[in-house]
Amino acid sequence: MNPLVESLGPVVITGFALQQLLALLDPILEKWIKANKEWVLSVLALVFGLALSLLHDLRVLRPFGITRMGWLDTILTALLITGGTKWVNDLTKVLTYKKIELHARAAAVRAKSSGPMEN
């Protein structure tokens, strides 16, 4: 399997699971801690993300060859898990826009090179 998929797959799945768990807890916490619910859910998500990152050795920088700062990799992985699937959606949008931009550039180069030739 691709090392990038091996590293990011569990993080994406864990982030999605955390997002669903928080969605289930949201109405319950609404009753008890209405004023601080968003803050409490964020802290809960970060603690959950850190715990999973540490306990299961999840790392997102490792497939890019960055292995010297394990603590930074742990924190970044935990933050990505905490973010649920939002970061995946944002990354997908950026990659889609770049793909469209590259296709437009390639079309412009093809049009320019296949235009009328001057002698």
More confident residue, 7 or 26: 26
Tens digit of each residue's pLDDT (9 = 90 or more) over 40-63: 888 888 998 899 899 988 888 887
Could you tell me which of 23, 18, 22, 12 has the C-alpha nearest to residue 89?
A: 12
In this structure, what are the phi and psi dihedrals at residue 35, rounded to the nearest 5 degrees? Answer: -65, -35
Confidence (pLDDT) at 116: 63
pTM comes to 0.62
Look up tokens 């998929």; give the residue: 5
Residues shown for the chain: 119
Average pLDDT over residues 79-90: 80
